[in-house]
Amino acid sequence: MNTSNHRVKRVLLYPLAAAVIMSAALIPSAPLAVSAAQADTALSAPAPANSRGSSVSGNRTAGNQQQQQALSRVAVIIDDFGNSMRGTEEMFKLPVKITVAVMPFLRSSEQDARRAHELGFDVLVHLPMEPRQGKPEWLGPGAVLTSMNDAEVRQRVEAALDNVPYAIGINNHMGSKVTGDERVMGIVLEVCKERGLFFVDSHTNYRSVAGRMARELGMPPVENHIFLDDVHSASHVAKQMKLVQERALSQKFCVTIGHVGIQGKETAAGIRRGIAEMKDKVQFVGISDLVREEWKWNSRLTLP
């Protein structure tokens, strides 16, 4: 992950995350106040159906298609959909292809996943996973915990996948403890492989075993490179988008994560500003596009 993401605000305290996420789980109408993935980071060291193209420039002609194929690729993942969070509408209206990561078992989980699919966006299950610090109940419903036995872990993963339609993979919500646990991650990845899915490591744990284990299983070792909204302002997000561009140009591609939530509108505004500045310089793709192109991943998954 880019070093600029180490400047996560320490004000994202777990007690705040606890109160908010518990309210989201127990009171369906309550929005999350902060991104639990960001708090965890701080405390742990197909073509679109609408007018959006796979790139900023629209990719509308054969000549443009050839040009776009030569561009570096950016996959923007937006976490925490599923509870009608602030910024949801703004994210759905971004002028490029994004990937929508939906938390399971919340009031708009199925609705958000179906809408994303109808818009031509990839859908991930944003699976709650136990962090190194903090209380597991902060995670909300359906969380995977290291204290569970193998059967329980498998049941949680399969239930979450069944709850979010059109999911083509999983990424972790919080999860710094689980992504460092070989036994539990082995089960998560095994379920993914059985279903023709892949796992995106959100990288809330710098000692994660997810990438190595994915490679050992013949799966793509996909991971987040840059958190966009580790500081909650549109200007900071726009600045992070510049880092995304730099990383994509130097390394051929970049995976980046933002969030809906209390500052979701600000994050969406910063992303939109960044998109305008990155016009014709990079190609915005869904995470499945990137995985197919970069790792030659051929999924057995067939969506309706």
pLDDT tens, residue by residue, 77-91: 999 999 999 999 999
Higher local confidence (pLDDT), 6 or 224:
224
Beta-ladder partners of 256: 76, 226
Residue carrying the six token digits 């999924």: 299
Convert the pLDDT of each residue in 76-135 to its tens digit: 999 999 999 999 999 999 999 999 999 999 999 999 999 999 999 999 999 999 999 866
**How does the average pLDDT of the chain come out, rounded?**
83
Residue appearing with tokens 């809330």: 204
Question: CA 54 to CA 286: how far, in whole Å?
Answer: 8
- Dihedral of CA 17/44/270/275: which sign? negative
* Residue with more model confidence, 212 or 2: 212
Which residue blocks in 143-263 are alpha helix, DSSP H?
Answer: 150-163, 182-195, 210-216, 234-251
Q: What percent of the chain is modeled with pLDDT above 70?
A: 73
Residue 277, Cα to own-chain centre: how many angstroms?
23
List all residues 6 or more positions away from 53 whose beta carbon is below 8 Å from its beta carbon. Answer: 59, 60, 96, 97
What one-character DSSP code corresponds to residue 295? H
Q: Is the pLDDT of residue 21 over 80?
A: no
- What band does 230 get if pLDDT is binned at 50, 70 and 90? very high
Average pLDDT estimate for 144-151: 96
Position 236 pLDDT exceeds 80? yes
Q: At what angle do helices 264-277 and 234-251 cross, to 10 degrees?
A: 50
pLDDT of residue 35: 54
Confidence of residue 157 (pLDDT cuts 50, 70, 90): very high
